[in-house]
Structure 1
Amino acid sequence: MKMISRGFIVLCILLAGCVPAPANPPVEPNASSWPTWVVTDVAAVRPAAPPDQAATQAELKEVQTLVAGRDQAALQQIAYWDSGSPSYRWIEIAFAQNRATPASAPRVFRMMSLLNVAIYDALVVAWDAKYTYQRARPAALAPSLPVVAQHTNSPSYPSEHAVAAGAASTVLAYIYPDLAQDFLAKAQAAADSRVLAGAHFPSDVEAGLELGRQVAQQVIARAQVDDTLPAWDGVIPTGPGHWTGEKPAEPNAAKWETWVLASPDAVRPGPPLAHDSPELAAELQEVMTITHTFPIDQKAMWWQSAEGVFENWYTFASLRMFEQGLDANPVAAARTYALMSVAQHDAVIACWDAKYTYWSFRPIHMEPTLKTVFATPNYPSYPSGHACVSTAISEVIAAEFPAYAEAIRARAADAYESRIWAGIHFRHEMVAGKEIGVAVAQQVLAWDD
């Protein structure tokens, strides 16, 4: 009772304004020491110092003029780019582009890893610059300035939103060169929104855009190694138990550079069940005897969609970030997104390595009368790609948000069970895929320790 009374009195004093409420601590002042993926020397990439005091005062007047002239369109622009962490809109933009011009699953996972690694590494460098230069935000110099953006308690230079915009737009322009100008225009709009909001000086966003672009070029240099691999030789093994078909999807993905795995075959599983084994015959019976209800088939279809395969994991993580206030911690949010995307990227490479090592056939090859929920994917079966990538990303999310570990693992289980329901995989392929996913996630999380 005494503790309750004392707490009540303190609360009353705070509410009465007799003592100031405690200020929020600065956001991640030590983030410059966090590990990075492509940047080898954070200080070497650090932008030059911000303008001096006289130039800053001139910039402040420019900010005040822009803020005073805000109209409804400006407020909408600010609100759009202010939603979530700086990574949030760019992840949404990338997925929207994939829906408009669908790519193969390995290429989508690769795009997301390039995007999120570029944003994360650029923000680590930005955080080094912020706490090196300690530039005050505009409202610190003009307390009456009406700021209409969420407050990240960190120094002003460079702008975190501009950094993310520069990095993301440069990566997306590389992947979709015909749309490069559209992405660059979006980046400029994102950067401009921070000045309009009163959250940053013009030089903050200029330096941020340039820093993001610079780090993205390092990421792109890495991607170009994959893009210049020799063409697949076109040889498809023949014989009992082998996959049959033409133009299998992305055989070269088995040779792409990995982020954490020592090589694409680092976690390669043993061979699949023999084509004439009683164990495989029993697994075929499991597939053949699925009771196809509307809910089962609906789930199978959803997990085949872009939302099921790619987007839902990020939606889940973003909601947790909103709940926990991590949208106001840009570098921590970017770190989580990068770990998630790297896990799926390396998992799909490990999966494709096994697929194109064993060239294992699908259930429909063993039993041509089998009716599947949708067309069987045009590449070898073992191991299950859904099991690999869903397990990998769910294990990372479980580690990042342990209160939701059970929920996200249940979602991953649904994802890989859906491949049995659909009639396109055998049970042992799910088991092997899950083992790959767990192994990759463990290495991703170990990298971050």
Structure 2
Amino acid sequence: MTIRRFVSSCVIVLAVALAAVAIAQANEVTKWNNIAVNTVLAQPPITSAPPAAAVFVAMVQGAVYGAVNAIERHQRPYLVTRRFPMASMDAAAATAAFRVLDALFPAQHAMLQAEYDASLAAIPTGSLKDTGVRVGQAAADAMLAEGHDGRQVLPCAFAAGAGVWQPLAGPTGAPLCDPSPWVANGVTFMVESASQFRTDGPYPLTSAAYAADFNEVKELGSLNSTTRTLEQSHIAVFWQSNPAANYNGVARRLAEEQSLGVTDSAVLFAMLDLTAADAIITCWNDKYYWNFWRPITAIREADIDDNPATVADPDWKPLFDPSLDSSIAGVGPALITAPYPDHPSGATCYGSASMHALQSFFGTDEMRFYVTSSRFPGEQRYFDRFSDVPKQLIEARIWNGLHFRNADVQAANLGREVERYIHVHHFASVH
């Protein structure tokens, strides 16, 4: 090979590589995933709180997957039964995402319309584009008709008693209640029902296992703990960031690094977000089934639990203290005990399901990636295995004083079980 031919070949290879990167960066699936997450998280808590956010992001990604799958089918039909092989996947993906978001958040119409117009403007005019738009509309309409948007304000019902969850008073003195309790009875996407999976439940209050968990979080999760390290405190605060942003950010970066096309990206985000949403719906149903008290209440009222190995501390405060009116991290709202029952941990359900979904998509647990947090802008926490995230979450939720270990361990198991069911019944032939 002559030098000229060698250089020409290198130029061609480089051009192809750059084109591949450009395609990955311009991917309509990743673009609209980013728009979806940002749009959802900008809403009031009834919509943007982690459990609700999981549902709304899943509605978008499910519609996108349904549309793309109708054009380049890799799995049984989802939302759209008819196949449309001669259609633009870019147009279908953008239309599906736009129509779902526009229906859910009409106040954001101007911004969404501008993004949608930009997406369509980049697609050549013709029958492929027109058909893609129709496919995207069909997928979005089918998703919206399924009834996943269950937003409603429900009364904050609670009772007193040993082991029973009770809301805490916020800075104003009013009880802090779940902003999105409707998720507990939400319409699932791929599992059979919100109550299909049930954890073993909290340990009996009089058991040695409960006492061990009690004393662990009492020591490590205390606001003024002398045992918890500065690094552990930092990690605890790091993870108090909306999981929808955390894990979709991971998936977008991996999609770009792997130069995934529209089809694979649609599958990736469907596996991630449909799994996460069903895990959260299942988790919330389980939370209100057991209705178990949080460590802050358990420790302050331990004199009624009939366990001689637990000692009450009426003044105990967790690292995330509801009486604080400023953020420990200096970024974002106050870090508080979440206003819903302890068991199982929602954050760990979400993280476990998400990481197992990514593991299933890529076919390996070993993957170098990083997670960001709204609490520490610019910080990148690196991991070498997807399974390392739920392991760290289990510890973080103890270090911040929010959960008993059992609530986190069972949550991790629940997330894994939901992901396994969805993968086997819906995605096994894809990856």
CA distance, structure 2, for counterparts of residue 310 and residue 164 of structure 1:
20
Q: Which amino acid aligns with 2:164?
A: H
Matched, 1:257 2:179: no
User: Which of 179, 201, 205 matches 1:275?
Assistant: 205
- Cα offset, 1:365, TM superposition: 0.2
User: Which of 49, 56, 59 matches 1:114?
Assistant: 59
Q: Which residue of 2 aligns with 1:448?
A: 427
Q: Which amino acid aligns with 2:273?
A: S
Q: Which amino acid aligns with 2:150?
A: D
CA distance, structure 2, for counterparts of residue 425 and residue 159 of structure 1:
47
CA distance, structure 2, for counterparts of residue 11 and residue 314 of structure 1:
45
Q: Which residue of 2 aligns with 1:366?
A: 298
RMSD: 3.0
CA distance, structure 1, for counterparts of residue 275 and residue 3 of structure 2:
45
User: Which of 17, 30, 33 matches 1:91?
Assistant: 33
User: Contact 2:344/2:407 (CA < 8 Å) preserved in 1?
Assistant: yes
Count of equivalent residues: 346
Distance 1:284 1:210, change over 3 A: same
User: Contact 1:191/1:209 (CA < 8 Å) preserved in 2?
Assistant: no
Q: Which moved further from structure 2: 311-320 or 213-222?
A: 311-320
State the structure with more CA Rg.
Answer: 1
Q: Which residue of 2 aligns with 1:394?
A: 355
Matches within 5 A, 1:4-403: 83-102=25-44, 103-127=48-72, 157-194=86-123, 200-223=124-147, 226-227=149-150, 232=154, 235-245=157-167, 246=175, 247-290=177-220, 291-306=227-242, 309-326=243-260, 329-368=261-300, 369-373=316-320, 374-401=335-362, 402=364
- Cα offset, 1:82, TM superposition: 6.9
User: Which of 392, 406, 418 matches 2:396?
Assistant: 418
Question: What TM-score, normalized to structure 2?
Answer: 0.73
User: Contact 1:390/1:416 (CA < 8 Å) preserved in 2?
Assistant: no
Distance 1:240 1:331, change over 3 A: same
User: Contact 1:351/1:385 (CA < 8 Å) preserved in 2?
Assistant: yes
- Cα offset, 1:238, TM superposition: 3.6
Deviations 1:122-144 (A, max 9, x none): 1122336xxxxxxxxxxxxxxxx
CA distance, structure 1, for counterparts of residue 3 and residue 52 of structure 2:
54
User: Contact 2:351/2:390 (CA < 8 Å) preserved in 1?
Assistant: yes
Give 5+ residue unaligned stretches, structure 1: 1-8, 25-78, 129-154, 195-199
Give 5+ residue unaligned stretches, structure 2: 74-83, 168-174, 221-226, 301-315, 321-334, 368-383
Question: What TM-score, normalized to structure 1?
Answer: 0.70
Distance 1:16 1:380, change over 3 A: closer
User: Which of 433, 442, 445 matches 2:411?
Assistant: 433
- Cα offset, 1:107, TM superposition: 1.1
CA distance, structure 2, for counterparts of residue 11 and residue 277 of structure 1:
78
Q: Which amino acid aligns with 1:213?
A: Q
Q: Which moved further from structure 2: 160-169 or 274-283?
A: 274-283
* More helix by percentage: 1
- Cα offset, 1:353, TM superposition: 0.9
- Cα offset, 1:253, TM superposition: 1.2
- Cα offset, 1:228, TM superposition: 7.8
Q: Which moved further from structure 2: 104-113 or 182-191?
A: 182-191
Q: Which residue of 1 aligns with 2:80?
A: none
CA distance, structure 1, for counterparts of residue 128 and residue 3 of structure 2:
38
- Cα offset, 1:349, TM superposition: 1.0
Q: Which moved further from structure 2: 357-366 or 281-290?
A: 281-290
Q: Which amino acid aligns with 2:360?
A: A
CA distance, structure 2, for counterparts of residue 11 and residue 108 of structure 1:
56
CA distance, structure 1, for counterparts of residue 5 and residue 105 of structure 2:
57
CA distance, structure 2, for counterparts of residue 81 and residue 13 of structure 1:
27
Q: Which residue of 2 aligns with 1:28?
A: none
CA distance, structure 1, for counterparts of residue 256 and residue 87 of structure 2:
24
Percent of aligned pairs sharing the same letter: 24
Q: Which amino acid aligns with 2:407?
A: E
Distance 1:156 1:349, change over 3 A: closer
User: Contact 2:164/2:292 (CA < 8 Å) preserved in 1?
Assistant: yes
User: Contact 1:248/1:378 (CA < 8 Å) preserved in 2?
Assistant: yes
Deviations 1:407-441 (A, max 9, x none): 21112222232111111000100111011011001
SS in 2 for 1:223: coil
